[in-house]
Amino acid sequence: MANVESMVRKAHFYIAPWYAEGVTKAPVMTREEKKAWYEKFEADFGSLQRNREKLSVETLQTKYAKSYNRLITDLKAGVDTLLDYHIQTFVVNGLPTHPLDRDGLERFVKRTNGIIREETAPGRLLEQAKAALIDGLDMEKCWELVYRIYERIEQEAFYPYWMRHCFRRNGRVYNDIIDKWWRPVQSDGSERWTNEDGTLYDVTHNGRHFHAFNFPPKEAAPWENAAIAEMPRCKGCGAPILWHKTAAGKLMPCDPDPVAYWERPGATGKVLTAWTQYSERGRLASCDFAGTPGTESGIGYVPHWATCPNWRDFKKN
Ligand SMILES: [Zn+2]
């Protein structure tokens, strides 16, 4: 069994690869840049509020046109950055993805960019957020409208992707991104992702927390025409398997549970690398499956042909 804490620590668990692939245009803001943006945004909004208390919009637009227009331009740019901030924080860094599902990620990213295009068009949510701020002087409403763009992305782009990674397995629902099992509503009303034995867990990544109640395995949106799939089984021995795509684009049947591995040339163990250096994902490596905790090369999947008792027969047929 994989050590989840180490998996998450080592993992490119979230969508950081988006940037590596150049698939989103939202710029990466450093902590300092975020702070600087937020302080200026708040200060500009304060100026706007004070100006509008003292003077009519007409006076501001005529007598003080130059400085007022600059303030409006800066505030609108601030709302654009607010959207970038949401995309970076909630989408790119907040939605967990599977390192070997490149096809799914591509569709997810394409849909995300489609929603961003739609909601940044005239009259849509981003413009409404700017109007709420500048005409309505309502900062809270502005944030809420921008957050609704994120919500659309979560529901319409991420959820179909997430549901591709939920499988029925031994009568329960398993997710292979977080390697967790869904525990339906308990007597206390809670429902959440747990370890296989039902125990609770705590996953943090770069100081962020994956909440176990996030992203319940609800059926995909109707237009997806998809229900939770049964986990595939090996035709040779009947064991559950997952098909993963190698870096070369070949599908490989693997044992479904991720394992920690220590790479060593010449070792007899074989693993398909997954949560590891981005450039090395989907590579078949020779490895040991035991070593000093915390020094593992990564987390990967054992090809099913290495463990299947009937693989030889199956291959012959
Ligand atoms: Zn088998």
| DSSP assignment letter at 222 | G
The pTM assigned to this predicted structure is: 0.86
pLDDT digits (tens, 9 = 90+) for 158-212: 998 999 999 999 989 999 988 899 988 878 888 888 989 988 876 654 445 567 7
The residues with which 168 forms a beta bridge, in sequence order, are 173, 230
Ligand 1 centre to CA of 102 (Å) is 25
Ligand 1 centre to CA of 242 (Å) is 11
pLDDT class for 30, splitting at 50, 70, 90?
confident
Ligand 1 centre to CA of 255 (Å) is 9
Ligand 1 centre to CA of 299 (Å) is 21
pLDDT at 112: 87
Report the pLDDT averaged over residues 114-136: 96
24-33, 125-134, 226-235, 254-263: lowest mean pLDDT where? Answer: 24-33
Report the pLDDT averaged over residues 267-278: 87
Ligand 1 centre to CA of 256 (Å) is 12
Mean pLDDT of the chain: 84
CB 183 within 8 A of CB 193: yes
Q: Using CA atoms, how far apart are residues 200 and 192, in angstroms rounded to an integer?
A: 9
Range of 76-90, 178-192, 276-290 with top mean pLDDT? 76-90
Ligand 1 centre to CA of 316 (Å) is 13
Asked if the model's pLDDT at residue 283 lies above 90, the reply is: yes
Helices (H), 165-310: none
pLDDT at 121: 95
Q: 271 vs 280, which has greater pLDDT?
A: 271
Long-range Cβ contact pairs of 142-148 (< 8 A, separation 24 or more): 142/79, 142/82, 143/82, 146/79, 146/82, 146/83, 146/86, 147/86
Q: How far is CA 84 from CA 135, 218, 294, in A?
A: 22, 28, 34
Helices (H), 120-271: 125-134, 139-152, 159-164
Ligand 1 centre to CA of 240 (Å) is 8
Asked if the model's pLDDT at residue 11 lies above 50, the reply is: no
Ligand 1 centre to CA of 269 (Å) is 17
Ligand 1 centre to CA of 313 (Å) is 10
φ, ψ of residue 270 in degrees (nearest 5):
-125, 140
Residues near ligand 1 ion, CB 5 Å cutoff: 234, 236-237, 239, 308
Report the pLDDT averaged over residues 3-23: 41
pLDDT class for 219, splitting at 50, 70, 90?
low
Decide: helix, strand or coil at residue 289: coil
Which tokens belong to 213? 């109640």
Ligand 1 centre to CA of 234 (Å) is 5
Ligand 1 centre to CA of 253 (Å) is 9
pLDDT at 99: 85
CB 12 within 8 A of CB 99: yes
Q: Using CA atoms, how far apart are residues 138 and 129, in angstroms rounded to an integer?
A: 9
Q: Which of 185, 193, 190 is nearest to 166 (CA)?
A: 193
Q: Which uninterrupted H or E stretch holds 115?
A: helix 102-119
pLDDT at 178: 86
pLDDT at 2: 35
pLDDT at 209: 59
Q: Using CA atoms, how far apart are residues 54 and 67, in angstroms rounded to an integer?
A: 15
> One-letter amino acid identity for 128?
Q
